[in-house]
Chains A and B, each alone.
Chain A
Amino acid sequence: MADVRIERITKQFGQAIAVNDLSLHVRDHEFVSLLGPSGCGKTTTMRCVAGLERPDAGQIFIGERDVTTLLPRDRDVALVFQSYALYPHMTTRNNIGYPLRLRGMDKPKRDAAVEETAMMFGIDELLERFPRQLSGGQQQRVALSRAVVRQPRAFLMDEPLSNIDALLRVTMRAELKRLQQQLGITTIFVTHDQVEALTLSDRIVVMEFGTVQQVGKPLEIYRQPANLFVARFVGSPPMNFFEGELRSEAGETVFVSDMLRVPVVAPRHAPANRVTLGVRPESLTVESAPSDGATRAKIALLEPLGYETIVHATIGSDVVRSRVADGEDLAVDQDVWLRIGSELLFDTQSGVLLS
């Protein structure tokens, strides 16, 4: 096992910059997710670590070794592909055993290792089957077994859960987490699914435009998004935003927009220009009677999810979303009063978090 250090790598495809001067340190035993929309450079970054792409500039270290120019085979990392990439002409047994065969392990030892790993994933009954005879979830487990069996220095996973159905995805997610805790192998996990990133990771790297937007623990990312992009991307339903400015009134700082007046905690650096107020849907409480500091809104849409209800309400022309535990007495077109619990302030122009 080893840590993975990415130092200022850049990768261009023709005119398009996929990864732009990116640095990242994944510690030993750590599970790190690269999270971002498609085209943000997360997969390219991971492929550079794997050796499937050569960065135009920068260096990559696995452990103490500079692997920047090494072939994939010499890096001792395993990659689980979104499409599983099982060898179609090999049985499960031979698929899992292939990396061991390339290391010259003799057949009895290889079989023992394969069987042990297959047992761990509950696919020991499927060893003599070919990939085309397996379901998606089973293929997924074979791909994971093939990665695990050789005890690589690092795991790389490229959206490994996105090709299986929703129900199985939840099971596999739990299984991945258990596996990583059990084996403690350094893992880089590429995903566009924030739930996967939030539930699995020790740390999350949010990416956009080939650069790191924020690195942090899941709850940090959620609670203290470094900028507007992260704030917008993480969280479902997404955070509510209001544009306005800060005013000082009677020693208090107040956020003022066309529709809102909210007292806020003064940021350390007072912005010169306009600010954006961000409020998570769960920080927006819905009250059915007016009170001081609450803003009047009208319910436009209700999405009851059973354990909670998403309330879409309009303030003027803005639509805001709130999640409430019990929405039974709410109705569409009803007038309600919204109260902001906790909020974040961003510089509108630079997008940087102020509070």
Chain B
Amino acid sequence: MSVRSLPLATNRPGRWQAVQHLWQIPEQRLALLLLLPSLLVVLLTMLYPLIVTIRMALSSERGQFVGLGNLTRLATTNIFLESMSFTLRFSAFVVIVSLLLGLGLALVVNSIYVPMKTLWITILIIPLMVSDIVSAVVWRLMYHPTIGILNYALSLVGLPRVDWLGKSSTAFFSVGIIEIWRSAPFFFIMLYAALQLIPPDVYESASVDGAGGVRAFFDMTLPYLRPVMTVALMLQFIGATRAFGIIVGATEGGPGRATWTISYFIYRYAFRAQQMHFASAAVLVLVLLTIVAGVLFFRFVWVQRDAA
């Protein structure tokens, strides 16, 4: 058995030869070369529109320079302020309820009483994969005044029918529930995964120290979950502020303008009212808020990773 006499097989010329040559250039230059295409695609997709948006936001619909005119008009446009307010209230509501539901489910599925955990995980994450528009349609069927099941259920227990999506007082919660249906599974799966990473001896030493049940949860479980919880909260909050498909699918902003989000506002002004320059001013506000959120988010994520 003489292995050494055999030449290395990978030297043969062939279809990979060109790529092979590429990979022999110095490491760091290769790194940049490999990164370049994705960076160009990703960064240009952000930067080019941003520059165009700034230019548009500073000029009128006919293209005359108006400085901050569009922005000041935005600040005095009631529906913009209402959209902002709705977006923030809606996102806060969705994220808080989703977190509580997701945490509860994660703890329940994690408990020793639940057999076939994989099956439960599979079922519970299904809504996460359903698109916003389909979720809206799915729930419109639930909410429908006559063919929906919810009002039928209410009538069975003798309660009056509710116009779930048709009145501004209930539309907030009704749309919120749709978004919660999609968003709670994310918290569930993140927190369930985080629960698996808690070393069991933490609980053993806690029970030796006399901390059981509720006490152990607040003293042991929660601190372990907090980093993951924060990341999930921020991601989902940012996601919820972008709500668009769900609004188009469920209410089209209605009743009246009761469920306009920022994204929906931009869409309506840019593509229905054909006021793209005015809409660009709103885009600018949204991007600025995203930068703030981004700084907060990455400061946290980065600090966390460096600490690990």
Contact = CB atoms under 8 A, between A and B. Distances in A.
A151 B6 CA distance: 12
B7 interface: yes
Nearest to B6: A103
A76 B5 CA distance: 11
B3 A104 contact: no
Interface in A133-148: none
Interface in A94-139: 100-105, 109, 112-113, 116
Contacts of B6: 103-105
A102 B8 contact: yes
B9 A102 contact: yes
Chain B's interface size range is under 10
Nearest to B5: A103
B72 interface: no
B8 A103 contact: yes
Contact of A150 (B3, B7, B9, B10): B3
B1 interface: yes
Nearest to A151: B3
B21 interface: no
A313 to B, nearest CB: 40
Contacts of B2: 151
B29 interface: no
Contacts of A76: 4
A100 B3 contact: yes
Contacts of A105: 3, 6
A73 interface: yes
Contact of B8 (A73, A109, A116, A151): A73
B7 A113 contact: no
Interface of B: 1-4, 6-10
Interface of A: 73-74, 76, 100-105, 109, 112-113, 116, 149-151, 153
26 contacts: A73-B8, A73-B10, A74-B8, A101-B9, A102-B8, A102-B9, A102-B10, A103-B6, A103-B7, A103-B8, A103-B9, A104-B8, A104-B9, A105-B3, A105-B6, A109-B1, A112-B1, A113-B3, A116-B1, A149-B3, A150-B3, A150-B4, A151-B1, A151-B2, A151-B3, A153-B4
